[in-house]
C-alpha cells in the first residue's frame, strides 16, 4: 500500500468522479481505476460502489477515508520535518506585535511555520514601538504585526496587508442604544466615544481621523485611552461608547452589547512588516509560509 494510492483514493472520494480525480492527480482514468482496484484488493473490502453515473463511498470506505486523510497528513509532515533536518534548517525568528489582540492575526502563520520548520526558534516581543520604523529597528525584529501607515512610509520596510475590518461599537447593557439592531451615526451624536490612543502615530492618526469623518462622526467626540481594556471598562460602565476592532468583540458578556454601524464604519488595519534587505533565512521561509497560506 503506497502513498500514491492514498492520494488517488482521497481525490476520488472528494470528486466522486474518475474523470475529475484523474485530472487532479495528472493520470489517466484507466490508471486511476487500476490503483483504486488494487487498493481495494489489498484492503479486502470495497471503498466505492460504482454505477454508470457516479462513484459513492461505501460505509467502510467513508470510515477508511477519515484515517487515510490523517495518515497522509502525518506522512507529509514527517517528510517535511525530516527534510528540514537533513538540510540543517535551524535559526531564530523574532516576531513583534503591539499586544496580544493584534498578534491574533499572525498566530495561524506562526503555527504553520513551526510545523514546517520545528528547528527554528520563534520568539515574540510585545511593544507599541513595533509600529514605528525606529522602534522596529531598535527591537531588532524580523517581522511584526503593525499599524501599516508609519512603517510603509519607510523605504527600507516592506508591508503586507493582513486584515481590514470595520470597527464595532460597545455600550453597556443598560445604555439607551443597547436595544438597537444597528447604529446610525446620528445615534452617536453627543456620545463620548472611547478609542485607542494613536496620536503618537501621525500617519495612522490622520488616516483614522479621515475615516471617522467619512463615517459621519465628529472626531471631537473621540476620547483616546491607553489600551483596549480601558475601552471595555469605560464603555461597560456606561460612561460612553467604545470603538474596538472586530476581533476583540467576538465574545459574550452580560455587561455590554456589541453593535455595528449602519453604513461605512471606520476601519482597523493591520499589516505584516519586515526589512526588505534582511539576511535572515528564517524570515524568507516565514514569508513563504505566509504567501502559501494566503493563496488558500
> For residue 165, what pLDDT is reported?
77
**What is the distance between the alpha carbons of residues 46 and 258, in angstroms, rounded to a whole number?**
52
Q: Which CATH architecture has domain 3-72?
A: Orthogonal Bundle (1.10)
Which tens digit of pLDDT belongs to each residue from 237-289? Answer: 999 999 988 777 666 678 889 998 887 888 878 899 999 999 888 899 999 99
Listing DSSP states for the chain in one string gives --HHHHHHHHHHHHH--HHHHHHHHTS-HHHHHHHHHHHHHHHTS-SEEE-SS-EEE-HHHHHHHHHHHHHHHHHHHHHHHHHHHHHT--EEEEEEESSHHHHHHHHHHHHHHHHH-TTEEEEEEE-GGGGSHHHHHHTT-SEEEE-HHHHTTSTTEEEEEEEEEE-EEEEETTSTTTT-SEE-GGGGTT--EEEE--TTSHHHHHHHHHHHHHTT--GGGEEEESSHHHHHHHHHTTSSEEEE-GGGS-S--TTEEEEEESS---EEEEEEEEETT---HHHHHHHHHHHHHHH-
> For residue 296, what pLDDT is reported?
67
> For residue 250, what pLDDT is reported?
64
> For residue 20, what pLDDT is reported?
92
Return the C-alpha cell found at 98. Answer: 503591539
> For residue 161, what pLDDT is reported?
92
Which tens digit of pLDDT belongs to each residue from 164-220? Answer: 878 889 999 999 999 998 998 899 998 999 998 887 788 888 888 888 888 888 889
**What is the distance between the alpha carbons of residues 138 and 111, in angstroms, rounded to a whole number?**
26
Which tens digit of pLDDT belongs to each residue from 53-86? Answer: 789 999 999 999 999 999 999 998 888 877 766 6
Listing DSSP states for 157-203 in one string gives EEEEEEEEEE-EEEEETTSTTTT-SEE-GGGGTT--EEEE--TTSHH
Return the C-alpha cell found at 135. Answer: 522602534
CATH 3.40.50.12780 fits 91-163+270-295, yes or no: no
Return the C-alpha cell found at 139. Answer: 527591537
Is the confidence at residue 40, as pLDDT, over 80?
Answer: yes
Is the confidence at residue 147, as pLDDT, over 70?
Answer: yes
- Identical fold between 3-72 and 168-265: no
CATH tag, 168-265: 3.40.190.10
Q: How confident is the model at residue 227 (pLDDT cuts 50, 70, 90)?
A: confident
Segment 132-137 shows an average pLDDT of: 92
> For residue 233, what pLDDT is reported?
92
The residues, ordered by sequence, that sit 6+ positions from 67 with a Cβ below 8 Å of its Cβ are none
C-beta separation of 58 from 48 below 8 A: yes
Segment 92-110 shows an average pLDDT of: 90
Burial of 168 (0-12, 13-18, 19+ CB in 10 A): buried
Which tens digit of pLDDT belongs to each residue from 103-132? Answer: 888 999 999 999 998 889 999 999 988 989
Strand partners, 145: 272
Extents of the domains making up the chain:
3-72, 91-163+270-295, 168-265
Strand partners, 124: 95
**What is the distance between the alpha carbons of residues 259 and 242, in angstroms, rounded to a whole number?**
10
Strand partners, 257: 171
pTM (2 decimals)?
Answer: 0.61
**What is the distance between the alpha carbons of residues 216 and 115, in angstroms, rounded to a whole number?**
46
Amino acid at each position: 500500500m503506497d502513498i500514491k494510492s492514498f492520494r488517488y483514493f482521497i481525490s476520488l472520494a472528494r470528486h466522486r468522479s474518475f474523470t475529475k480525480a484523474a485530472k487532479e492527480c495528472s493520470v489517466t482514468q484507466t490508471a486511476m481505476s487500476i490503483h483504486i482496484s488494487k487498493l481495494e484488493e489489498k484492503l479486502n473490502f470495497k471503498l466505492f460502489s460504482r454505477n454508470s453515473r457516479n462513484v459513492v463511498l461505501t460505509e467502510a470506505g467513508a470510515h477508511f477515508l477519515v484515517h487515510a486523510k490523517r495518515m497522509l497528513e502525518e506522512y507529509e509532515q514527517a517528510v517535511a520535518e525530516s527534510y528540514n533536518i537533513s538540510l540543517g534548517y535551524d535559526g531564530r525568528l523574532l516576531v513583534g506585535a503591539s499586544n496580544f489582540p493584534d498578534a491574533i492575526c499572525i498566530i495561524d502563520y506562526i503555527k504553520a511555520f513551526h510545523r514546517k520548520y520545528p528547528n527554528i526558534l520563534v520568539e515574540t516581543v510585545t511593544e507599541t514601538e513595533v509600529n514605528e520604523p525606529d522602534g522596529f529597528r531598535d527591537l531588532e525584529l524580523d517581522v511584526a504585526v503593525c499599524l501599516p501607515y508609519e512603517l510603509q512610509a519607510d523605504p527600507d520596510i516592506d508591508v503586507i496587508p493582513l486584515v481590514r475590518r470595520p470597527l464595532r461599537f460597545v455600550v453597556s447593557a443598560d445604555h439607551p442604544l443597547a436595544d438597537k439592531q444597528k447604529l446610525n451615526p446620528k445615534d452617536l451624536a453627543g456620545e463620548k466615544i472611547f478609542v485607542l490612543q494613536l496620536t503618537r502615530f501621525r500617519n495612522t492618526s490622520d488616516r483614522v481621523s479621515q475615516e471617522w469623518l467619512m463615517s459621519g462622526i465628529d472626531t471631537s467626540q473621540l476620547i483616546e485611552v491607553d489600551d483596549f481594556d480601558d475601552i471595555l471598562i469605560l464603555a461597560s460602565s456606561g460612561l460612553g461608547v467604545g470603538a474596538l476592532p472586530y476581533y476583540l468583540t467576538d465574545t459574550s458578556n452580560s455587561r455590554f452589547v456589541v453593535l455595528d454601524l449602519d453604513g461605512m464604519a471606520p476601519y482597523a488595519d493591520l499589516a505584516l512588516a519586515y526589512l526588505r534587505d534582511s539576511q535572515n533565512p528564517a524570515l524568507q521561509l516565514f514569508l513563504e509560509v505566509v504567501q502559501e497560506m494566503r493563496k488558500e
